[in-house]
């Protein structure tokens, strides 16, 4: 692919998010030219995508899409600056910064404020929602959240990837939510984190696929995928991602 080819970058918080993104993008029709890393493939800038936890996918329109984890929100600004801070001779056409909302109950999310701050620090005239122009590129954001009612058995309150995924599974298979809730309530009790909920679903219904693949594999269940798409569309995430996938 030539240096003039379109390139998009998704920066996500961690490896679980990266797996979820891979499943979502494959569900939307993207392909993996590396065959899960078994083959070398050049990106749209003529570089081999290897190392730093990066995945390379190709959109149906022939553009390249790199998924890269940045390992925690404190690293988000530096991760964006690597691509849009003037360090690269051929920056990507768009960077999508992905964060958990991290809101609980009716608390306001600070994720959007962080995105605005990052955009402004890199020279954008950033107000409201993105995308924000930085040089000749764009910065947009996808924030994990969903508006399922509270309480929802088997679904954590905190607005994270785990809440989104477990809400989608519970909507597709309502009886599983109650089973997970009972399991977590049972004695002797352990930690009760958002990840505790998600991996309870993994342990009971998805363990044949391996933990590293859990967040990708939910996209191969059409009932769950339908529920995930419904929630992602409600937050505006689908519109942002499909605008990239279709270019």
Indicate where the chain has its CATH 3.40.50.10620 domain(s).
Answer: 7-146+235-245
Q: What is the pTM of this model?
A: 0.93
Where residue 31 falls (left for φ over 0; alpha for ψ -120 to 50; beta otherwise) is: beta
DSSP string, 70-126: -SSGGGHHHHHHHHHSS--SS--SEEEEEEE----TTPPPSHHHHHHHHHHHTT---
Distance CA 41, CA 112 (A): 34
Q: For position 108, what pLDDT does the model report?
A: 62
Q: Which two tokens stand for residue 132?
A: 């924000």
pLDDT tens across 72-103, in order? 999 999 999 999 998 888 899 999 999 999 98
For 7-146+235-245, CATH gives 3.40.50.10620
For the cut 70, the answer to whether the pLDDT of residue 4 exceeds it is: no
Bridge partners of 71, per DSSP, are none
Helix axes 174-185, 194-201, angle to 10 degrees: 120
pLDDT tens across 150-182, in order? 899 999 999 999 999 999 999 999 999 999 999
pLDDT tens across 198-212, in order? 999 999 999 988 888
Average pLDDT, the chain: 91
């Amino acid at each position: 692919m030539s240096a003039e080819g379109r390139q998009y970058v998704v920066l996500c918080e961690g490896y679980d998010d990266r797996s979820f993104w891979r499943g979502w993008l494959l569900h939307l029709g993207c392909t993996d030219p590396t065959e899960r890393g078994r083959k070398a493939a050049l990106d749209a800038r003529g570089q081999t995508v290897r190392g730093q936890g990066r995945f390379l996918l190709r959109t149906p329109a022939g553009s390249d899409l790199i998924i890269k984890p940045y390992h925690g929100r404190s690293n988000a600004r530096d991760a964006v600056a690597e691509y849009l801070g003037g360090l690269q001779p051929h920056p990507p056409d768009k960077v999508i910064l992905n964060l958990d909302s991290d809101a609980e109950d009716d608390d306001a999310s600070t994720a959007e404020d962080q995105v605005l701050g990052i955009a402004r620090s890199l020279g954008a005239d950033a107000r409201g929602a993105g995308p924000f122009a930085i040089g000749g590129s764009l910065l947009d954001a996808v924030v994990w959240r969903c508006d399922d009612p509270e309480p929802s058995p088997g679904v954590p309150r905190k607005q994270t990837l785990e809440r989104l995924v477990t809400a989608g599974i519970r909507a597709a298979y309502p009886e599983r939510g109650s089973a997970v809730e009972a399991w977590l309530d049972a004695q002797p009790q352990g930690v009760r984190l958002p990840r505790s909920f998600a991996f309870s679903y993994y342990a009971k219904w998805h363990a044949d696929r391996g933990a590293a693949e859990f967040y990708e594999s939910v996209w191969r269940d059409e009932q769950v995928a339908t529920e995930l798409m419904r929630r992602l569309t409600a937050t505006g995430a689908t519109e942002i991602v499909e605008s990239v996938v279709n270019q």
